[in-house]
Structure 1
Amino acid sequence: MSTVLVTGGSGFVGIHVILQLLAAGHTVRTTVRRPERQTDVLAMLREGGAVSPESLSFFTADLVRDEGWGEAVAGCDYVLHVASPLSTSVPKDENEMIIPARDGTLRVLRAAREAGVRRVVITSSLGAIGYGHKPREKPFDETDWTNLEGADVQPYIKSKTLAERAAWDFVAREGGGLELSVVNPAAIFGPVLGPDFSGSIEIVKSLLDGAMPAVPRVYFGVVDVRDVADLHLRAMTAPEAKGERFIAVSGETMSILDIARVLRRELGPRARRVPRLQAPDWLVRLAANRIPLLRAVVPMLGRVRHSTSAKAQSLLGWQARSNDEAILATAESLIRLALVKA
């Protein structure tokens, strides 16, 4: 078995990646920005039924600083770079997200190259593939790149695109023998293991809490976090994954209203607060003037992006859970952990 570093182990994706690595028998390291986050990571691992948590060690490192990365990667066979700056609102200065994402990725790659790491797998996003384009019927695939001049390209999307571009350029120009693979997930759902989770999970939480009387007309691809973690492990070791990027998406694109319908159909009384209506676009635009959280939604109204994970399926044998299973696992875990209104 190998020694693997997972960056951002306290995050929603990172913790599931660690769980699967431990279950597979690997020696795992993870980085946290603050040492006190170790307690949170261990609590989430217990919630997830961790196998051999004693095989996990912690290192303190931050994407915006050089300190700690050399020690974290020393002696590792693989690095899974999952950490990325994330915000639930649109920052005033887009560089608040872009610089840590891009420069942090390059820090990890340099440290990995110097340590003789075999391969780095980076968690990018479907946001680096399918945004900034005119509407089209053809599904987006791994040959596509987001057009940064598009009106729907928010700072987070730009940060993921620029970070991934920088990674490929680095490996091509100065990577030495370092190999690179990239995973590009759609909106990530699935079982929550603690109070820290992604913006996608916040959608389900808001629906269950009844925070929205009506939902905006927004669409996205769906994937379960357990399947995203599985794809990372496959991309880490498969010879065929060298130099490749892989979209992680489960099924058809869904709207927020579609998700609300799944919750009401499957959860019964526990979904009593879930809205039944879709708000007209003009109303969302009007509300966005007063509610900062909605500003990021406005450029996405009515835009449907289809994508395919055929490459991951054919090249790596990857199979994903259904959209409904991913959404219900999200809801059930939020209810179990008392993270939604009683």
Structure 2
Amino acid sequence: MAQVLVTGGTGFIGSWCVLHLLEAGHTVRTTARDLRREATLRSWLHTATSFDDERLTVVRADLEHSDGWKDAVADCEFVLHVASPTLRNTPATGDELVVPAREGVLRVLRAARDAGVRRVVLTSAFGAVGIGHPPRSTPFTEEDWTDVDSDIPPYQRSKTLAERAAWQFVEEEGGGLELVAVHPVGVLGPLLGPDDPPSLRLVRRMLEGRVPACPPFGMGFVDVRDVADLHLRAMTDPAAVGERFLAIAGHSLRVVEIARILRERLGGRAAKAPTRELPVWLARALGTVNPELRLLRHQLGRDLDATSAKAERLLGWRARPIEDTVADTAESLLAHGIAEHPV
């Protein structure tokens, strides 16, 4: 058993990583920008599992500042760098996401190297793999990189440039530090507590009847519990060193298929989920006035597929059926009062 630092452990993916590590017997230190979140995190974790409180420490550290990182990584064998700027509020523009993501990952890597950390697992995203490319019929793999010279949204640009910077640092200045990158597609799954992560808002809005028609595109989805599992495998398996791993459950799904699964699995509780898909031409037209559709402009009319064959082959990883994940997501949103029950 090891001591592991999880950056951003109060977030959606980070909290599940903390839970899986504790259940595996590790000692966990996690960072938060606001230490007032510690009590909330502990409450969520104790509801989900039993563990000795002494095996979890929460420390303050911010990706945009150097203070705290030396102490955060001290005596840790592994680091799961999950924290990243998000679109929790309004979409960012320019360098609002790019600079914190790139500089933040470098802060974590420098501190990890200096502390003698063995391996860092970086939470990247499909956004660093499959955005800005011409239409294609084959799934994206870990060999692909997002084209940052094309007109792409800030979040995808930030994830790509941050990961590029991480690989360059390890090659040129890492001093033997090992690096692995994990690339989830759209992350769904149950919440550990009442929260509102951006990746679950599509399902939430469908349940509440705020998506009258689905945007016309397809993408991959994966369960947050399986993403956490992949992080732990990437942390310890010798085969993971220096590799990138995509995480997707099966193949891409049209957004309208997510709505269909909700209606089939939840019945009347998902009665407000949409039943039709917008025509591409109409979605493009609405994108001129709708900021969310504008961010999706490169995806409209396309199916962005990917494959997890590499993670399955090298690490023995398997994703649960996406139908179960969609249903569990909705059940969790309703149970925690994040999505309103239909009237």
Give the TM-score taking structure 2 as reference length.
0.96
Instruction: Specify the alignment match of 1:144 in structure 2.
Output: 144
Tell me the distance in 2 between the aligned counterparts of 1:214 and 1:247: 29
Contact 1:9 1:18 survives alignment (8 Å): yes
Contact 2:129 2:144 survives alignment (8 Å): yes
Amino acid paired to 1:128:
A
Instruction: Specify the alignment match of 2:254 in structure 1.
Output: 255
Alpha carbons of 1:299 and 1:71: their partners in 2 closer, same or farther (altered >3 Å)?
same
Instruction: Specify the alignment match of 1:77 in structure 2.
Output: 77
Tell me the distance in 2 between the aligned counterparts of 1:49 and 1:188: 22
Shift of 1:326: 1.3
| Matched ranges for 1:127-142 at <5 A | 127-142=127-142
Contact 1:11 1:197 survives alignment (8 Å): no
| Matched ranges for 1:14-25 at <5 A | 14-25=14-25
What do the CA deviations read for 1:57-107 (whole angstroms, capped 9, x no partner)? 011000000000000000000000000001157645321000111100000
Shift of 1:50: 4.6
Alpha carbons of 1:335 and 1:271: their partners in 2 closer, same or farther (altered >3 Å)?
same
Contact 2:92 2:154 survives alignment (8 Å): no
Contact 1:90 1:295 survives alignment (8 Å): no
Higher mean C-alpha displacement, 262-271 vs 284-293: 284-293
Shift of 1:155: 0.7
Alpha carbons of 1:92 and 1:4: their partners in 2 closer, same or farther (altered >3 Å)?
closer
Alpha carbons of 1:240 and 1:12: their partners in 2 closer, same or farther (altered >3 Å)?
same
Instruction: Specify the alignment match of 2:57 in structure 1.
Output: 57
SS in 1 for 2:268: helix
Shift of 1:40: 2.2
Amino acid paired to 2:240:
A
What do the CA deviations read for 1:306-327 (whole angstroms, capped 9, x no partner)? 2111111111111110111111
Shift of 1:232: 0.4
Identity score, percent: 51
What do the CA deviations read for 1:228-257 (whole angstroms, capped 9, x no partner)? 000000000111111111111111100110
Q: How many residues align?
A: 341
Instruction: Specify the alignment match of 1:336 in structure 2.
Output: 335
Instruction: Specify the alignment match of 1:189 in structure 2.
Output: 188
| Matched ranges for 1:18-33 at <5 A | 18-33=18-33
Instruction: Specify the alignment match of 2:220 in structure 1.
Output: 221
Shift of 1:199: 2.4
Instruction: Specify the alignment match of 1:38 in structure 2.
Output: 38
Instruction: Specify the alignment match of 1:320 in structure 2.
Output: 319
Amino acid paired to 1:332:
E
Instruction: Specify the alignment match of 1:68 in structure 2.
Output: 68
Whether 1:10 aligns to 2:16 is no
Tell me the distance in 2 between the aligned counterparts of 1:254 and 1:277: 14
Contact 2:286 2:293 survives alignment (8 Å): yes
Tell me the distance in 2 between the aligned counterparts of 1:89 and 1:3: 33
Tell me the distance in 1 between the aligned counterparts of 2:92 and 2:118: 38
Contact 2:247 2:311 survives alignment (8 Å): yes
SS in 2 for 1:302: coil
Tell me the distance in 2 between the aligned counterparts of 1:305 and 1:173: 33
Alpha carbons of 1:50 and 1:286: their partners in 2 closer, same or farther (altered >3 Å)?
farther
Whether 1:311 aligns to 2:310 is yes
Contact 1:90 1:154 survives alignment (8 Å): no
Q: CA RMSD in A?
A: 1.4
Give the TM-score taking structure 1 as reference length.
0.96
Tell me the distance in 2 between the aligned counterparts of 1:170 and 1:325: 39
Instruction: Specify the alignment match of 1:110 in structure 2.
Output: 110
| Matched ranges for 1:173-252 at <5 A | 173-252=172-251
Tell me the distance in 2 between the aligned counterparts of 1:289 and 1:137: 28
Amino acid paired to 1:42:
R
Higher mean C-alpha displacement, 292-301 vs 254-263: 292-301
Alpha carbons of 1:303 and 1:255: their partners in 2 closer, same or farther (altered >3 Å)?
same
Tell me the distance in 2 between the aligned counterparts of 1:16 and 1:241: 20
Instruction: Specify the alignment match of 1:100 in structure 2.
Output: 100
Tell me the distance in 2 between the aligned counterparts of 1:89 and 1:217: 24
Q: Unaligned 5+ residue runs, structure 1?
A: none
Contact 1:90 1:155 survives alignment (8 Å): no
Tell me the distance in 1 between the aligned counterparts of 2:88 and 2:136: 28
Alpha carbons of 1:134 and 1:50: their partners in 2 closer, same or farther (altered >3 Å)?
farther
Alpha carbons of 1:236 and 1:92: their partners in 2 closer, same or farther (altered >3 Å)?
closer
Amino acid paired to 2:8:
G
Alpha carbons of 1:238 and 1:260: their partners in 2 closer, same or farther (altered >3 Å)?
same
Alpha carbons of 1:203 and 1:62: their partners in 2 closer, same or farther (altered >3 Å)?
same
